[in-house]
Amino acid sequence: MSEVSRRRALGIGGALGLVAATGLSAAAAMARRPAVTGAELRSAVPLPPPYQVPLPIPATLEPVGEGRYEIVQRETTAEILPGIRTRLWTYAGTFPGPTIESRRGRPITVTHRNELPVPTVVHLHGGRTPAASDGYPTDLVLPKGWTGHGGHGMHDHRAVVTELTRDYTFPLDQRPTLLWYHDHRMDFTAPAIWRGLAGLHLVRDDAEEALGLPAGRRELPLMIADRAFAADGGLLYPSLDPALRERPGVTEPYLAGVLGDVILVNGAPWPVQEVDAARYRLRVLNASNARHYELEAVTDDGRRLDLVQVGADQGLLAAPVVHRLLPIAPAERYDLVVDFRGVPVGGRVRLLNRLGSGRTKDVMAFRVARRAADDSRVPAVLSTDLPAWRRSDAVRVRDLAFRTGRVHGGHGWLIGGLPFDPARADVTTGLGDVEVWRLVADVHHPVHLHLVGFRVLSRSGGPPLPHDARLKDTVSLRPGESVEIITRFDGYRGRYLFHCHNAEHEDMAMMANLEIT
């Protein structure tokens, strides 16, 4: 295959091919950027009409003792599409898994028991967690009597492998925000999340509760994820080894990312939520493997409602930021307030995805059921505890390129030209050091750092975008773009990670070690 046809086959032609072939500037390439990086699977079952299934709210996990939780990871069958049974891998029998509600600074321990047929490992995304509980990809929990090997990651002498169970301890000494927990097994994270291994974790504190933001029934977690369904009702996924035992990776058309043609919110297809004519707080997570969304809230008469952003990945902003359109990359979270008071009773507000086409344009809908009193507020000052790192505080500047390349003789995704290797310390930094990282991308790469939050300093030499505001733990690099971030490596010493959160890229080696000494 020629280089050009190979790129085409990989679905990564677009901007990348143009840059390589014609030397177009990054800006020109970006103007032609494809809306998504990845290829879409098509479901083989009839899909339900939108806005029929009520929005499920994941149950809150009950502690089994003071600060102690237990989760059994197991297979189950659930009705995701009406009338169709789907096999899932779950945390505690549901998809999404149960939500953990915790308080800032109150440590918890979660005992996970792996009753799935393959090794697993749990990561609390956005958590400030000691390395031993951070879910390093080779710190596997093996199923009882596991005989397979764990892929090349098993040659990692620092791995802490357990059989059947593992206790994860989370100090939660961090700003309140929406976190999520998901599988992070070496080479097999993408299909494991796809099968259902993802759940929410909310950290709260008194200061945030005192703000008067919409709460109780008027605070809704929204975990958005795309999936596709096979003729037998199971989830479609193009794994090379459908048992997820030995051979990682996906078939060639999906090397740039796996997209589904069904949009799920909290595990339901294009759901509908009845609301009061009042303000609501929406805790939005894009838990998709590779799909990017650009969200807008549109009334039946074509008006766009403001999406008032009050928080980012790592908690409250200093002040609200108003969006009409909000891009959200895999693993990003946005804390939004939407005001339904101007919508007539009986009216509907649809949450739409401007990057979608056909059925993937729809996400979910809200139906305004009644007038109601509303004493919630969106204060002009939301928080005053944000770090004030300046460029001049940085003791180091690093350049890190996120690009396609060869891995083990096949196609992969590389950071700084190298595929992930647990044995190599890619970045070594001192506890407490402030650093600036310059990240550059070929195609879309949502870049995530474990342990720390960061601020976006610039995009392609210009100012950050409005939705880059304040503390992030995942930043969306667009095709051809360079993004500068600044952070302080605070919290704990040990071996952490940074990686692309396009889950297929992550499994195909776009991950690196972050060693804090």
Give the footprint of ligand C2O on this chain (CB under 6 A): 123, 125, 182, 184, 331, 448, 450, 497, 499, 501
Of 19 and 485, nearer to ligand C2O (C-beta) is: 485
What whole-number distance in Å separates Cα of residue 342 and Cα of residue 321?
A: 20
Q: Which of Cu ion, ligand C2O, none interacts with 451 (beta carbon under 5 to 8 A by kind)? A: none
Of 80 and 500, nearer to Cu ion (C-beta) is: 500
Of 264 and 352, nearer to ligand C2O (C-beta) is: 264
Q: Which of ligand C2O, Cu ion, none interacts with 184 (beta carbon under 5 to 8 A by kind)? A: ligand C2O
Q: Which of Cu ion, ligand C2O, none interacts with 505 (beta carbon under 5 to 8 A by kind)? A: Cu ion
For residue 381, the 8-state DSSP code is -
Cβ atoms of 434 and 488 within 8 Å: the answer is yes
The number of CA neighbours under 13 Å toward the Cβ of 259 is 19
| Closest by Cα among 167, 244, 224 to 353 | 224
Beta carbon of residue 221, minimum distance to ligand C2O (angstroms, whole number): 16
Of 193 and 317, nearer to ligand C2O (C-beta) is: 193
What whole-number distance in Å separates Cα of residue 442 and Cα of residue 434?
A: 26
Beta carbon of residue 497, minimum distance to ligand C2O (angstroms, whole number): 5
Binding residues for Cu ion, how many (CB under 5 A)? 6
What is the number of other CB atoms lying within 10 angstroms of the CB of residue 148? 15
Beta carbon of residue 354, minimum distance to ligand C2O (angstroms, whole number): 24
Beta carbon of residue 173, minimum distance to ligand C2O (angstroms, whole number): 19
Q: Which of ligand C2O, Cu ion, none interacts with 499 (beta carbon under 5 to 8 A by kind)? A: ligand C2O
Q: Which of ligand C2O, Cu ion, none interacts with 502 (beta carbon under 5 to 8 A by kind)? A: Cu ion
Beta carbon of residue 180, minimum distance to ligand C2O (angstroms, whole number): 7
Of 166 and 505, nearer to Cu ion (C-beta) is: 505
What whole-number distance in Å separates Cα of residue 192 and Cα of residue 185?
A: 8
Pairing of strands 258-259, 262-265: unpaired
What whole-number distance in Å separates Cα of residue 281 and Cα of residue 316?
A: 13
What is the number of other CB atoms lying within 10 angstroms of the CB of residue 4? 12
Q: Which of ligand C2O, Cu ion, none interacts with 497 (beta carbon under 5 to 8 A by kind)? A: ligand C2O
The answer to the question of residue 505 lying near Cu ion (CB under 5 A) is yes
What whole-number distance in Å separates Cα of residue 120 and Cα of residue 438?
A: 32
Beta carbon of residue 134, minimum distance to ligand C2O (angstroms, whole number): 9
Binders of Cu ion among residues 114 to 133 (CB under 5 A) are 125
| Closest by Cα among 129, 77, 36 to 494 | 129
Q: Which of Cu ion, ligand C2O, none interacts with 500 (beta carbon under 5 to 8 A by kind)? A: Cu ion
Of 289 and 309, nearer to Cu ion (C-beta) is: 289
The number of CA neighbours under 13 Å toward the Cβ of 335 is 29
Of 192 and 349, nearer to Cu ion (C-beta) is: 192
Q: Which of ligand C2O, Cu ion, none interacts with 128 (beta carbon under 5 to 8 A by kind)? A: none
Give the bridge partners for 370, in sequence order: 276
Beta carbon of residue 425, minimum distance to ligand C2O (angstroms, whole number): 17
Of 227 and 445, nearer to Cu ion (C-beta) is: 445
What whole-number distance in Å separates Cα of residue 188 and Cα of residue 167?
A: 21
The one among 333, 445, 470, 495 contacting Cu ion by CB under 5 A: 445
Residues 6+ apart with CB under 8 A from 292: 35, 36, 37, 286, 327, 328, 329, 330, 355, 444, 446, 476
Of 326 and 331, nearer to ligand C2O (C-beta) is: 331
Q: Which of Cu ion, ligand C2O, none interacts with 61 (beta carbon under 5 to 8 A by kind)? A: none
Beta carbon of residue 511, minimum distance to Cu ion (angstroms, whole number): 10
Helix, strand, coil shares of the chain, percent, nearest 5, are 10, 40, 45
Binders of Cu ion among residues 450 to 489 (CB under 5 A) are 450
Beta carbon of residue 499, minimum distance to ligand C2O (angstroms, whole number): 6
Beta carbon of residue 424, minimum distance to Cu ion (angstroms, whole number): 19
* Residue nearest ligand C2O by beta-carbon distance: 125
What whole-number distance in Å separates Cα of residue 277 and Cα of residue 372?
A: 6
Residues 6+ apart with CB under 8 A from 512: 400, 415, 416, 418, 420, 426, 427, 497, 498, 499
Of 136 and 270, nearer to ligand C2O (C-beta) is: 136
Q: Identity (one letter) of the amino acid at 76?
A: T
Cβ atoms of 482 and 460 within 8 Å: the answer is yes
Pairing of strands 474-477, 178-183: unpaired
Where do contacts with Cu ion occur on this chain (CB under 5 A)?
Answer: 125, 445, 450, 500, 502, 505
